[in-house]
Chain A
Amino acid sequence: MKKHFLLTAFIVLGLISCTNEGTAANTVASMKTPQMENYDKAFKSLGDPQNRPTEEERKRNTTELSGRRKALLVPASKELILSTGVTESELMRRTGGDMSQIIVWATQIYMQKSDEIRKNIKTEN
């Protein structure tokens, strides 16, 4: 009898923790800033039919994303960097306008912000 009670208690606890995990995951998405969402959308858009790698791009002997497809990521990346208070001139000075540097910098900011959101949710729970 006691065993059953304990078992039920553990199952209930397990279910509750699983539900919480779901809400936490949902909240990370809902707490992203509009600039983070646009950065997300830009990366996802690389899979849109018109943005897929062309036959020529696939034949290149490099893993580096093509210039055409990098250009699709730049506007949202810039927007994300500027949203942290960095000025346009500072951005140009630090990256020299290089697409790769802008995108990688935005990725670092994006991950930092996601981590912060995740930590905040953890402390709130």
Chain B
Amino acid sequence: MWITLIYKFINMKKLIVSALVLCGAFSFAQSTPLMINNYSKLSLEGRLMACSRINPGGYPVAFAAPNPPYGVYTVPPLTTDVEYVTLNTSAASLLPILKWYVTTAGGITTYNYNDPAMAGISSSVEWAMYHFVTKDDLGNGVDTFMMGNPIVSNMAGFSTNLYQLGTTAEAEWFSISGMVYLQVYDYP
């Protein structure tokens, strides 16, 4: 009895996830590559997120798991050419992302980047946010940056900026014909 109930519940969850993913796939959103260039001497540590531009709650909302060997998603100092073509090819990058934490109305699920579900999720989201702290070589936090596309990240409840000036770094998020770039420079 209990087993069938649990089984049914899991199936429901799967159904909801698939329905949401399908919704996304048939919408007009499309995933485009993200390129991160950290020209600064600081390390960037935080949360990289992609979400839907149209679905309520921004679902599915995908956060990058920490790239090994770091404890949070990290772009080391003076590290450029970090490209993610899609979420489901994120392991091929200079800074590989092996897992994604995906939130839908059904809850949070951890997927391997190459899980079959990730292709659908990837095509229904856009790059939305990199919320990070800049850290010096001693590991001290300097500034907090909320970088991203405000229109997309707002769907998931995050306010982001296209341009932000900190005390020792400046950051900007822009696109060129759909391709998304995040660049961080030393300042002044």
Q: Which chain A residues have a beta carbon within 8 Å of chain B's beta carbons?
A: 40, 43-44, 46-47, 49, 52-53, 58, 63-65, 70, 73, 100-101, 103-104, 107, 110-111, 114, 118
> Taking chain B's interface residues, is the majority helix, strand, or loop, or is none over half, making it mixed?
strand
Interface pair A44/B179, CB less than 8 Å apart:
no
Give CA–CA (A52, B2) in the complex, Å. Answer: 62
Given contacts A104-B179, A111-B83, contact A47 B174 (CB under 8 A): no
In the assembled complex, how far is the CB of residue B49 from the closest CB belonging to chain A, in whole angstroms? Answer: 15
B22 at the interface (CB under 8 A from A): no
Select one of B39, B174, B176 contacting A44, CB under 8 A. B39
With A46-B172, A104-B177, A111-B81 known, 4 other A-B pairs at CB within 8 A are A52-B170, A63-B149, A64-B175, A110-B81
Name the B residues within 8 Å of A58 (CB-CB): 162-163
Name the B residues within 8 Å of A47 (CB-CB): 39, 170, 183, 185-186
Give CA–CA (A107, B83) in the complex, Å. Answer: 10
> Taking chain A's interface residues, is the majority helix, strand, or loop, or is none over half, making it mixed?
helix
Give CA–CA (A101, B179) in the complex, Å. Answer: 10
Given contacts A52-B170, A58-B163, A107-B35, contact A64 B81 (CB under 8 A): no
Interface pair B83/A63, CB less than 8 Å apart:
no
Interface pair B37/A101, CB less than 8 Å apart:
no
B154 at the interface (CB under 8 A from A): no
For A40, A43, A47, A111, which residue has the most chain B Cβ atoms within 10 angstroms?
A47
Give CA–CA (A111, B82) in the complex, Å. Answer: 9
Closest Cβ neighbor of B76 among chain A residues = A25
In the assembled complex, how far is the CB of residue B172 from the closest CB belonging to chain A, in whole angstroms? Answer: 7
Interface pair B35/A65, CB less than 8 Å apart:
no
Give CA–CA (A64, B39) in the complex, Å. Answer: 21
Name the A residues within 8 Å of B176 (CB-CB): 64-65, 70, 73, 100, 103-104, 107
Task: Please encode chain B, from 176 to 188, with 1 for each CB lying within 8 Å of some chain A CB and 0 for all others.
Answer: 1111110101101
Closest Cβ neighbor of A73 among chain B residues = B176
Interface pair B177/A101, CB less than 8 Å apart:
yes
Give CA–CA (A88, B16) in the complex, Å. Answer: 52
